[in-house]
Structure formats: C-alpha cells, structure tokens
Amino acid sequence: TAKTLVAKTLAASLALEFTRIQFTPDLMPSDVTGQMVLDPDGSFRFRQGPVFTNVLLADEINRTPPKTQASLLEAMEEHQVSMEGTSFALPDPFIVIATQNPIEYEGTYPLPEAQLDRFLFKLHVGYPTAEQEAEVLVRHDQGLDPHDVAAAGVRAIAGPAELAAARAQIAAIRVERPVVDYMVAVVRATRDSPALTLGASPRGAAALLRAAKSWAWLSGRDYVTPDEVKAIAKPALRHRIAVRPELELEGTTPDVVLDSVLAMVPVPR
C-alpha cells in the first residue's frame, strides 16, 4: 500500500535525508543504532547506524525481537544514542515512521506500551479503491519508478529551516483552559472505560495537545478548539489503549471505544 513511497515522498518534499531499515528476526540493536569499532591504531570509535538520519522508516517493526525494538526508545525520546557512556546527538529534525504486520501473522512480536507511547499517531492504511488501484497500474505502465520520487515529480517545497519555523509557530498556538480540561477529560475517560484494560497515559494527553495545536495551525488558526481535539483524538490515542480481549473477539476496536468516549465527554462551549 505504498507506505515506503509515502515516507520517501515526505522526506523529499522537506529536503530531508531518508533511511529505511527492514526489521527482521535476526536484526541486532547495533544494526540500528551503531557500534564501537576498532581502528588499526588500536583505538575505538563510534560507527553510526542507520538511525542517524532525518526520516527513518522502521519497516515491519514488529518482526524483530523486543530487545531490538527497544533500541529505538532512547532515540525517539531523547533524540540521541548512548554508547559506552557517551551520548551522540541525532540529526535535527528526527522523525520515525514505522509499519507493522497484523499481530496474527506468524513471526511477529507485540510492541511494548513504552514504545507505542512514543509514536504521535497510529494511522490505518487500507487497500485503495478500484479506481485508485487502476490509476496505480496505469502509472506503472507509463514507467513510474516508485524508487525514484524525483523522477515522479516530487520536489522540495520546504527545508529544515522552514520546518523549524513551523514548529515554533505551532508551539505558540493558544490553548484556553476549558479546552485543556476537555483534553484531560477525554484521556481520563479512557482510563475509566470498562471496555479497556489500558487507558491513555499522561504522555498520551501531551501528544493529544501537540496534535491538536498542529491541526489548528494547519487549519489557519492561532488557537485550539474542541473540534481539533475531536478530529485528532483517534489517530493520537488509538495505539495507547487496549481493548478487553473478550470484547476484541466480538469486534470492538479502539476506535469504537474512542467514539463512545468522545460522545460521552461534555464539550466546552
């Protein structure tokens, strides 16, 4: 479903370096973060791993054991890698995009809650419509190379400086106290839901705040409304909650529970 192409296109449109790691059962943490190597003169130096990039695609991240998955934790949280007591800063910006296989697939390892919590969004990427799929075939027949986004017409429309400026503008977006209280109420309602074994953490509330401010900025506003919170709640929270197994067997999904939470929590006027 072109997830790699989407990640490549994002990096190219922002003039950022892109790296893809194919996660496999035999992938080691050092294959991600890097390792100390011995030079001919007998000294050790740090050889950077593929995590040292701007946009990192962790492809099929749940096909690798938890120890290797955890190698991304510090990088995603602290934007650095520690090795032999020394910290090595990652490039700025540093963005991680991950794909995963359905948990019922053979050879998958569940992602720990601590790692899931570090992703801002979880997006569902389904199959294209028949019309869209036909358009894909037509473009391939006309010579489209998905590995060459530049030849496909993708051009940089911004760069790291513009991205930093946008982040500063987003940070300045106003959030009035009633809207803050509304976000807190939504997050706390997930913890009290009888349909869930795990509710959203305070980190989830912080992610919801950042996401709502970003959505307001994209909408051309300098303040957040409850509409932004509702629009962004499911992608920002669906991976931070866990549905009771018996309800999951009946077809209840995180989105179903979040819909009921949003319908239940009073919206400030």
Write out 228-250 in H/E/C secondary structure.
HHHHHHHHHHHHHCEECHHHHHC
Query: For 132-158, what is each residue's pLDDT tens digit?
Result: 999 989 988 888 787 788 877 889 999
Query: For 62-90, what is each residue's pLDDT tens digit?
Result: 899 888 888 888 889 889 998 888 899 99
pLDDT computed for residue 88 by the predictor: 93
pLDDT computed for residue 104 by the predictor: 64
Burial class (CB in 10 A: 0-12, 13-18, 19+), 171: exposed
pLDDT computed for residue 153 by the predictor: 82
Backbone angles phi, psi at 19, to 5 degrees: -140, 140
Categorize the per-residue pLDDT at 1 as very low, low, confident or very high, splitting at 50, 70 and 90. low
3-137 adopts what CATH topology? Rossmann fold (3.40.50)
CATH of domain 172-264: 1.10.8.80
What is the domain partition of the chain in residue ranges?
A: 3-137, 172-264
Instruction: Give CA–CA dist 133/51, Å, rounded.
Output: 33
In a 3-state reduction of DSSP, which class is residue 19? strand
Q: Is the pLDDT of residue 105 over 70?
A: no
Residue 11 near residue 21 (C-beta atoms within 8 A): no
Strand ranges (DSSP E) for the chain? Answer: 18-22, 34-38, 44-48, 55-59, 80-83, 86-89, 95-98, 196-198, 242-243
CA geometry: angle at 74 spanning 2 and 107, to 5°?
Answer: 50
Q: Tell me the pTM.
A: 0.88
Instruction: Give CA–CA dist 70/186, Å, rounded.
Output: 29
Question: What mean pLDDT do residues 97-123 have?
Answer: 84
Domain pair 3-137 / 172-264, same fold: no
Q: Which two tokens stand for residue 172?
A: 């300045």
Q: Is the pLDDT of residue 244 over 90?
A: yes
List all residues 6 or more positions away from 200 whose beta carbon is below 8 Å from its beta carbon.
187, 190, 191, 208, 237, 240, 241
Which of these ranges, 23-27, 46-50, 84-88, has the smallest mean pLDDT? 84-88
Query: For 173-206, what is each residue's pLDDT tens digit?
Result: 999 999 999 999 999 999 999 999 999 999 999 9
Query: For 208-223, what is each residue's pLDDT tens digit?
Result: 999 999 999 999 999 9
Task: Name the average pLDDT for the chain.
Answer: 91
Question: What mean pLDDT do residues 234-257 have?
Answer: 95
